[in-house]
Amino acid sequence: MRIVSCLLRMIALATLLALQPGAAAAQSADEAFTRLGADSFSDTNRAIELLIANAHPQAAPIIEALAAGRLLAGGGAVVIKTTDGKFLDARTGAALPAESPGLAPVRLNNGVRRNIQAALGGLGLLNPDAGKRIAAAEAVFKSRDVALLPVLEGAIAKETDARAKAALRQAQAAILVAKPDAPPFDRIAAIDVLRERGDQDALATLRSLPADSSPALKEAQSRAVSAIEGKLAVWRAGQNLWYGLSLGSVLLLAAIGLAITFGVMGVINMAHGEMVMLGAYTTFIVQEIIRTRFPGLFDYSLLIAVPLAFMVAGLVGIAIERGVIRFLYGRPLETLLATWGISLILQQAVRTAFGPTNREVGAPNFMSGAFEIGQLAITWNRLWIIVFAGLVFAALLAILKLTPIGLQMRAVTQNRRMASAMGIRTGRVDALTFGLGSGVAGLAGVALSQIDNVSPNLGQSYIIDSFMVVVFGGVGNLWGTLISAMTLGVANKLLEPYAGAVLGKIALLVFIILFIQKRPRGLFALKGRAVEA
Amino acid sequence: MNAPNPGALTSSLLYLDGVSVSFDGFKAIRGLSLTIEPGEMRAIIGPNGAGKTTMMDIITGKTKPDVGTVMFGGSVDLTKLDEAAIANLGIGRKFQKPTVFDFHTIEDNILLALKAPRSVARTLFWQTAAAQAKRIDDILGIIKLGDARDRLAGSLSHGQKQWLEIGMLLAQDPKLLLVDEPAAGMTDGETAETAVLLKAIAKDHSVIVVEHDMGFIRELGVKVTVLHEGSVLAEGPLDVVSANERVVEVYLGR
Amino acid sequence: MISRFLLQNMDKRGYVFLALVAAIGILVPLLNLLMPVGSLFHVPTSTMSLWGKYLCYALLAISLDLVWGYCGILSLGHGAFFALGGYAMGMYLMRQIGSRGTYGNPVLPDFMVFLNWQELPWYWYGFSSFPFAMLMVLLAPGLLAFVFGWFAFRSRVTGVYLSIITQALTYALLLAFFRNDMGFGGNNGLTDFKDILGFNVQAQTTRAALFSMTCVMLIAGFLIARGIVVSKLGKVVIAIRDAESRTRFLGYRVDRFKLFVFTVSACMAGVAGALYVPQVGIINPSEFAPANSIETVIWVAVGGRGTLVGAALGAVVVNYAKTVFTSGFMAPYWLFALGALFVFVTIFMPKGIIGTARELWEKRRKPAPTVTPEPAPAE
């Protein structure tokens, strides 16, 4: 606290000596307290200005108390009431024995509140924590409060942290650029600073220049605007690409199980979406149990849900295969109908058990929030889903390439009859494949519970998209599914800004319908006589 | 090694030259050259994987060759046509595994194969004329299925299906018949009868027969082409070919 | 020649079906109009409308049976053709409202006024004429089916791939028709119809006439479908279903045959949709929902595919069951029943009601039947 007040005082001196006669300082501080006591809005505003301009050591607690309605005044005294009910002398910060009579809170209106916000911004500029200083500089950048200019300049002179210094300079530039009486040279230099910053806020600041600016300024402004716009367009494309990859990873998760069952067994599982839904509801149940019994484990709820969702969906999948699909062997179209029937039953079962409305699945700490890289806003949940999709994909590749059951699956994919002749129990392979595909759908459900509504219709909304991924990518090659999912995801998001979400989706559906004419077996198809037979 | 003679193109019914095709890097056919004269019957033999079925696929348009010439009647480039167009040119095919229409009667199977306009409109308003009905009766007589004409083809035995398929080929009345293993799965008696039937057909059609059964080939008594690894290994009468050292090597292994 | 085409080889089942539909088409409207309310023989108007709806579904099912049962094309998008026919009719009915709409605009339908549209979009021109609208009922679905089929069949897209892209087709249309700027009323669709050919849509006599018309079109649709499947073309189409590549090697252009059947079927579905709309009084994008199309498939499967009569029977049976189920205390269980029906029929009754009944009948008549062929792969 002492350091801060020292700092404040020094900065105030450094900045104010140039502007005002030194003797005025103490007097102005006194005036501030008088004005606070007067309790009129205009006096309060002036008092705030004076406190800031003088860098009064008690400025921060006073203004904070004022903002919270804990600043009391009356009978010439100004008192801070602390949150725990003690009373302090606003001027010195010394504790007072008891509440003096005749004190009333200093009143606020919106104008005063605005000034308080600006003032707090100015105070933050002098905070010892560099992160806080940057945040304060950002606030000033947005408010463009001319009154803070001297404080800013003082802060810049003192600043040692490079990032904080840049932020302060940008805030200063934002104010200068719009200040008609600033030296023209300074204003043009400020434009350069803003151009370097190059984000949406800088663009907005530049665009809001007063109309009466000089031609030189205007030219610099328009050049800076177009430079920023160009840069922003690139960032926007990057952002869309990111959204696309995120959508692609969701599609990948939803479709890859389908691709495996379709590849190995040649059947379309219309209940695949419901496996996703079961995974999401498993997550919901896990969280409910954790919430009521072991609240401390909440951050691990998804980790616990992952194996459970895989097992629940996988077991239901195996049950479907053994109970229904097995009897429809070699009749893919009937399988499609029967699994559709199963999907209706599962949906209705979940609707009966959990109700038709959306269920709330919470996000653990590591999944919430966002961070920025340049102009890219990246949310943690999307990032983790991409990572998760990558892990699931790698695990599936490993299972198919490295394990005996994977070898058998690949054999059955390529030539079922031959595989059977080699002694592979195709029935068992089918059941395991179906279980694996459904289990992966369950994993997708865990991920989707973080970004979508968990309702009985969850699966329905993904099933057609998943089909499109499988059909586009081709059968029997997981890489095809990966590329297909990412391509469709990115294409979807890149189309959206131009065509709108619905038209973009229609365009993609039409594209796939046409694509399948050209390559009826997808991007990466097996070739040869065995396939055509 | 068996490059066709100059001028063979125009006189031949079927002319293959330098045909190659590969599946995922595996060369199923490499530089195959073959000529069939009008009215000729030719037997094709070769070990498994020699490219016999793939050759038929190329001729009938199911598979497109990577390189090479496939000409029919001296002037028609078969590589540019699809299966239906090639069939309508007059090339009929009997498959290795007998493929008939299980849910149609035997008579309808023949009717579908019968040489007639194949367009949508003509089939929609089709009325079987007396001459055509007689032709169907004749064919049913030849393949000895006259009594079973109203039975569903799916209820026939394997050998009967082979015969029905040959009957369908007859009904198609093609210029060239491709017959893939007609004697497979037949009793000795049936095999002998099939040979007689094929020889009768060969009187006014060109025929290519692919067969494993050497006895059957001997019975046909025609020129033999030996395929090996996708190209022609030897060509000539069966006795000459079977005396060929390399053919023996290929068949018996080194 | 046409009558010979339509009636050739008509079997007993066909005649029973024709007689039944004709009897219903005559009797039900008469009983509705002539019998006094409260009489034992009176058919309430609501019942008549409900059965009119079933019969529209029956026509849709016959059209689907034509492509699925006979040609092996499992279309999961037939609801799209049905809905397009319905929209064509709906557009006619909208234009007939004239200035009687809420906003009283003589040309623009209410929803366009609501969206601040200044003039009628070009694709609404002509729909004030009944013959033009009826042409569109055939052309809109027919053309879509032709273009779609031309691409799909030429590239030999078959089996589940084809099913999936037909589903994508109807899904794309669903999304498109939900959009307000498409000019088809968006989410709400077309409704509040006033009259058809000058007769009030709500009037009892109009409803009776629509019911009879539905029976007439069902008979016509059945005769055309039957004429097609018993012709030589029908034999070719069945051959394609059972052994597509063999048919090709016989010299038939498989793609053209499929395209013909698919297009005819789509037109028929469009007619069913056009009859459906004035009877239920609304058409909206939910008719494009993929689930609807799949439900149509199960009607055909229940009745017995490849029998035509079975398809119509299945449509009526399943929809009657749906009405009974969903209007009682068992409503929450309808989806369980429907789902179970899908599973049960595909596993235990692949030939449907008609096919199973025929099998039992033949077994009883001939204790030692001839060998029946193995069921062919469905692709």
CB A220 within 8 A of CB A228: no
Within-domain flag for A221: no
The nearest alpha carbon in chain C to A502 belongs to: C175
Q: Any CB–CB contact under 8 A between B23 and chain A?
A: yes
Report the candidate in C8, C224, C254 with the shortest Cα–Cα distance to residue B126: C8
Q: Any CB–CB contact under 8 A between C376 and chain B?
A: yes
CA B64 – CA C50 distance, rounded (Å)? 56
The pLDDT, as a whole number, for residue C377 is: 42
Task: Answer yes or no: do A161 and A250 share one domain.
Answer: no
Domain that holds residue A508: 236-532
Task: Answer yes or no: do A142 and A260 share one domain.
Answer: no
CB B134 within 8 A of CB B107: no
CA C78 – CA C60 distance, rounded (Å)? 8
Query: How many CB pairs below 8 A link A and B?
Result: 11
pLDDT in tens, chain A (533 residues): 455 555 555 555 444 444 444 444 556 677 878 887 777 888 888 888 777 777 677 777 788 788 888 888 877 788 888 877 788 888 787 887 776 777 888 888 888 887 787 777 667 777 777 887 888 888 888 877 777 777 788 778 878 888 888 888 888 888 888 777 778 788 888 888 888 888 888 888 888 777 667 777 788 888 888 888 888 888 888 888 999 999 999 999 999 999 888 887 888 889 999 999 999 999 999 999 999 998 888 888 899 999 999 999 999 999 999 999 989 888 888 999 999 999 999 999 999 999 888 988 888 888 888 888 877 888 898 899 999 999 999 999 999 889 888 888 888 877 788 888 888 888 888 899 999 999 999 999 999 998 888 999 998 888 888 988 988 888 767 898 999 999 999 998 888 888 887 888 888 888 888 888 777 777 776 554 444 43
The pLDDT, as a whole number, for residue C19 is: 95
CB contact under 8 A, A268 and C163: yes
Within-domain flag for A217: no
Helices (H), A324-425: 332-354, 380-402, 404-414, 416-421
Q: Any CB–CB contact under 8 A between C368 and chain B?
A: no
The pLDDT, as a whole number, for residue C366 is: 64
| Interface with B, mutate which of C1, C249, C255 (most B CBs under 10 A) | C249
Give the one of B82, B84, B152 whose C-beta lies nearest to C373's C-beta.
Answer: B152
CB contact under 8 A, C332 and A348: yes
CA C138 – CA C272 distance, rounded (Å)? 10
CB contact under 8 A, C376 and B102: yes
Percent of chain B with pLDDT over 90: 36
The pLDDT, as a whole number, for residue C75 is: 95
CB contact under 8 A, B104 and C256: no
The nearest alpha carbon in chain B to C374 belongs to: B154
Within-domain flag for A458: yes
Report the candidate in A169, A156, A170 with the shortest Cα–Cα distance to residue A228: A170
> Which residues of C are less than 8 Å from A499 in CB distance?
none
> Which residues of A are less than 8 Å from C157 in CB distance?
516-517, 520
Tokens 């030849």 belong to B142
Task: Answer yes or no: do A361 and A467 share one domain.
Answer: yes
> A335: Cβ–Cβ under 8 A, 6 or more apart, which residues?
A267, A268, A269, A325, A328, C346
Burial class of residue A489 in the structure, from the number of CB atoms within 10 Å of its CB (0-12 exposed, 13-18 middle, 19+ buried): buried
Give the one of C243, C248, C373 whose C-beta lies nearest to B155's C-beta.
Answer: C373
Q: Which residues of A129-143 are buried (b: 16+ CB within 10 A; e: fewer)?
A: ebeebbbbbbbbbeb
* Subunits adjacent to chain B (3 or more Cβ pairs under 8 Å): A, C
Burial class of residue C368 in the structure, from the number of CB atoms within 10 Å of its CB (0-12 exposed, 13-18 middle, 19+ buried): exposed
CB contact under 8 A, B62 and A532: yes
Which domains are assigned to chain B?
1-89+222-254 (3.40.50.300)
Report the candidate in C219, C305, C213 with the shortest Cα–Cα distance to residue C15: C219
CB contact under 8 A, A527 and B54: no
CB C103 within 8 A of CB C114: yes
CA B86 – CA C250 distance, rounded (Å)? 9
CB C260 within 8 A of CB B155: no
What number is the ipTM of this complex? 0.89
Average pLDDT over residues C11-17: 89
Q: Which two tokens stand for residue C301?
A: 């499967």
The pLDDT, as a whole number, for residue A485 is: 94
Tokens 């034509």 belong to C66
- pLDDT of B104 strictly over 90: yes
- pLDDT of B253 strictly over 80: no
CB contact under 8 A, B155 and C233: no
Report the candidate in B77, B58, B60 with the shortest Cα–Cα distance to residue B69: B77
Task: Answer yes or no: do A107 and A249 share one domain.
Answer: no
The pLDDT, as a whole number, for residue C375 is: 45
CA B237 – CA B245 distance, rounded (Å)? 15
Query: How many CB pairs below 8 A link A and C?
Result: 129
CA distance B100 to chain A (A): 16
- pLDDT of C361 strictly over 90: no
> Which residues of C are less than 8 Å from B60 in CB distance?
249
The pLDDT, as a whole number, for residue B9 is: 67
Q: Any CB–CB contact under 8 A between B27 and chain A?
A: no
Q: How many CB atoms sit inside 10 A of residue A176's CB?
A: 23
Lowest mean pLDDT among A120-124, A386-390, B74-78, C62-66: A120-124
> Which residues of A are less than 8 Å from C246 in CB distance?
none
User: Of the candidates A195, A224, A247, which is a domain's last residue?
Assistant: A195
Q: Any CB–CB contact under 8 A between C254 and chain B?
A: yes
Tokens 């996708």 belong to B230
- Portion 335-354 of C in contact with A at CB < 8 A: 335-336, 338-343, 345-347, 350
CA distance A345 to chain C (A): 5
CB contact under 8 A, B26 and A528: yes
Burial class of residue A236 in the structure, from the number of CB atoms within 10 Å of its CB (0-12 exposed, 13-18 middle, 19+ buried): middle
Within-domain flag for A219: no
CA distance B5 to chain C (A): 30
The nearest alpha carbon in chain B to A525 belongs to: B24
Q: Which two tokens stand for residue A184?
A: 């023209």
> C324: Cβ–Cβ under 8 A, 6 or more apart, which residues?
none
Percent of chain C with pLDDT over 90: 73
Half-sphere exposure (CA, 13 Å, Cβ side) for B59? 30
Within-domain flag for A218: no
CA distances from A153 to A120, A143, A176, A367, C198 (A): 16, 16, 11, 40, 82
> Which residues of B are less than 8 Å from C238 in CB distance?
101, 103-104
Report the candidate in C135, C162, C361, C142 with the shortest Cα–Cα distance to residue C269: C142
Report the candidate in B160, C164, B74 with the shortest Cα–Cα distance to residue A262: C164
Helix A149-158 and helix A162-177, axial crossing angle in degrees, nearest 10 = 150
Give the one of C163, C339, C343 whose C-beta lies nearest to A333's C-beta.
Answer: C163
CB B212 within 8 A of CB B186: no
Walk across the sheet containing A77-81 and list its strands.
Answer: A87-89, A77-81, A71-74, A104-105
Within-domain flag for A67: yes
> Which residues of A are less than 8 Å from B24 in CB distance?
527-528
Q: Any CB–CB contact under 8 A between C376 and chain A?
A: no
B227 φ/ψ sector (left φ>0, alpha ψ -120 to 50, else beta): beta
Give the one of B23, B53, B54 whose C-beta lies nearest to A527's C-beta.
Answer: B23
CA A139 – CA B222 distance, rounded (Å)? 98
CB contact under 8 A, C159 and A514: no
Task: Answer yes or no: do A468 and A365 share one domain.
Answer: yes
Q: Any CB–CB contact under 8 A between C363 and chain B?
A: no
Number of domains in chain A: 2
> Which residues of A are less than 8 Å from C176 in CB distance?
502, 506
Task: Answer yes or no: do A136 and A240 share one domain.
Answer: no
C252-309: per-residue pLDDT in tens? 999 999 999 999 999 999 999 999 999 999 999 999 999 999 999 999 999 999 999 9
Q: Which helix (H) or strand (E) holds A377?
A: strand A376-379
Question: Which amino acid, residue C312?
Answer: A
CB contact under 8 A, A529 and B54: yes
Q: Which two tokens stand for residue C61?
A: 């099912």
CB A222 within 8 A of CB A191: no
DSSP string, C59-122: HHHHHHHHHHTTT----S-HHHHHHHHHHHHHHHHHHHHGGGSTT--SSS-HHHHHTT--S--G
> Which residues of B are less than 8 Å from C245 in CB distance?
62, 83
The pLDDT, as a whole number, for residue B7 is: 60
DSSP string, A242-311: HHHHHHHHHHHHHHHHHHHHHHHH----TTHHHHHHHHHHHHHHHHHHHHHH-GGGGGGHHHHHHHHHHH
The pLDDT, as a whole number, for residue C208 is: 95
CA distance B86 to chain C (A): 7
Q: What is the mean pLDDT of chain C?
A: 91
CB A477 within 8 A of CB A259: no
Give the one of B24, B53, B62 whose C-beta lies nearest to A528's C-beta.
Answer: B24
CA distance C227 to chain B (A): 9
CB C207 within 8 A of CB C48: yes
Within-domain flag for A127: yes
Give the one of B82, B101, B113 whose C-beta lies nearest to C242's C-beta.
Answer: B101
Average pLDDT over residues C308-319: 96
Q: Which helix (H) or strand (E) holds B208?
A: strand B206-210
CB contact under 8 A, A528 and B54: no
CA pseudo-torsion sign A359, A365, A369, A371: negative
CB contact under 8 A, C160 and A332: yes
Within-domain flag for A213: no
DSSP state of C374: P
